[in-house]
Structure 1
Amino acid sequence: MKQIIYAMQFKGKAGPGPAANVMKASTSASSSTIASVVSSQGVQGKIEPAAGGKAEFESEVTLTGETSFLEKGSIRFGDGNRLQFSSIERGYLGDSADPKLKSGAVMWRVDGGDGQFAGATGYITSNFTLSDAGDVTDNQFGVIFVK
């Protein structure tokens, strides 16, 4: 088995879906490098552009309670390389320190995919914010196993 890891920041929109308790999310992330540096002042992080293409994310979010949801979707990494995922347990979406943003987290199971991700397994964590206008910033870290 080969292990693929990725860390990317996706940005885009979330809006109404086919039912009152469903949202559709559509985001993308450019190729990037992420640096975390620890010093006597604490930790600093930054995301820098890198050569390469974009990843495209689409999901359907079903609200199951005041702060809980289930999610399923796909991420396309280049032409023909798509992975499919679904939430393991309920995700959390609640208020944040910024009154204009909600924040949350969810963990997804990789359910398979196409191209590079045919037969893939693994997990992805998502830590995200959602504005009143539907703007999404989603920080993902994935650990994927492929043959």
Structure 2
Amino acid sequence: MKEIRYQLLFEGKVSPEDEMGTRMRVETRASFGPGLDPVLSTGAPAAVLEAIVEPDEFGRFTEHGEIVFGGGTLAYASDGEGTIGESADPSLQYGHVVRRIEGGTGAFEGATGTIVSVFTVGENAMMRDSQSAVIFLA
């Protein structure tokens, strides 16, 4: 069993997935810095996250998506519900979610683990997502 950890800052945008705005698409990227496990960064200049978020009227949401790394992709789903609401800065919404890793492709086939995400979304729909993860590879 191999354990991989990372802390990355993903930046990108949030946009409506459907006309009613009941589903949102998240598209973000994180540049790789020094010290990352090669399975994350080898063969790719950045990690790319794409997700679908389904919010409710109470500031909670569920999410599923994938993150593409150099060694393959990680598939995940929210572990319970995330939350989003007001922040100390009136131009930003602030939220968090715990994501359960449900496998992947390439080096991440059969992966398990957890990704913790703390994020902000600005009035311009730009998102900044600080992630900390522990990944277990069989």
Q: What residue in structure 2 maps to residue 104 of structure 1?
A: 95
- Which amino acid is 2:68 matched to? R
Instruction: State the number of aligned residues.
Output: 129
Q: Residue 39 of structure 2 aligns with which residue?
A: none
2:81 maps to what in 1?
Answer: 90
**Pairwise CA RMSD:** 1.4
Q: Deviations over 1:43-99 (max 9, x none)?
A: xxxxxxxxx720000000001232100000000002x50000000110000000000
Instruction: Determine the C-alpha separation between the residues in 1 that align with 2:34 and 2:79.
Output: 28
Quick one: which of 65, 69, 72 aligns to 2:61?
69
* TM-score, normalised via structure 2 length: 0.89
TM-score, normalised on structure 1?
0.84
1:118 aligns with: 109
Is the radius of gyration larger for structure 1 or structure 2?
Answer: 1
Of 33, 55, 69, 2:47 maps to: 55
Residue in 1 aligned with 2:13?
Answer: 13
Higher strand share: 1
Aligned residue in 2 for 1:3: 3
Output the CA distance in 2 between the equivalents of 1:61 and 1:141: 19
List 4+ stretches of structure 1 deviating above 3 A.
Answer: none
Unaligned stretches of 5+ residues in structure 1: 35-51
CA distance in 2, matches of 1:28, 1:77: 10
Unpaired runs of 5+ in structure 2? 36-43
Residue 23 (structure 1) aligned with residue 15 (structure 2)? no
Distance in 2, Cα, partners of 1:106 & 1:71: 9
